[in-house]
Structure 1
Amino acid sequence: PLRAMHHKLPVLGFRLGGLAYLTDANFLPDSTLAQLQDCDTIVLNALRHEPHLSHFSLSEAVAILAELKPRRAYLTHISHQLGRHREVEATLPPWVRLAYDGLEVEVSE
């Protein structure tokens, strides 16, 4: 398990091989960031553009991902306040994508 915070509530994410899944948080401690250093694929929440009490904003999520440098990343737990999928994706680094219902991600062991 990967420790995280959802405002004042401790929550867990998971790492399974090269895939990390942290989808409902607004803070990752240094110990979790260390566990994510060599991760190939990261799924992380990005609720909206504006800061939020218990979720990462888009800029916060992208900053974390830029620090971790996974091969690819998917943003999830997105609200309608973030904007239209195509328009938001056009602003992201090429290795970061917005997740969507029905998305299948292939991962290697």
Structure 2
Amino acid sequence: EILERRIRNLEFAYHKPLIDYINHIHFVSLNTKDKKNIGALDPIVFLESEQAKELSTQVTEGLIGTKLTEDDRFENSFNYHLQQIIERRAKGETVGLLNVFKEMAKSKEELIK
């Protein structure tokens, strides 16, 4: 029994760095019924400036296609609002890619709306 306890303590000491590393990981659930998970995979939420821009652009192209996203009017509006939202996020506001689309929906231009 004493030997068994000593072995367990040695095993714990050996694996402690791994255990500490695992305990520092922020795990996210993708359960859509849990309101805390809304926006968990939003590029603006989990990435910094340039990476957030790149992935947000790719996601948008995937959602609505390149025919629209390559139109200069749409692209300029999207980039402008994306930058505004990323700056607001950097200041601590709870915003994300959906806010970019909400701002664009206010446009007077039908293509952008």
TM-score > 0.5 by shorter chain? no
- Tell me: higher relative CO, structure 1 or 2? Use CA pairs within 8 A at least 6 residues apart: 1
Write 1 or 2 for the structure with the bigger share of helix: 2
TM range (shorter): under 0.3
Write 1 or 2 for the structure with the bigger share of strand: 1
TM-score by length of 1: 0.25
TM-score by length of 2: 0.25
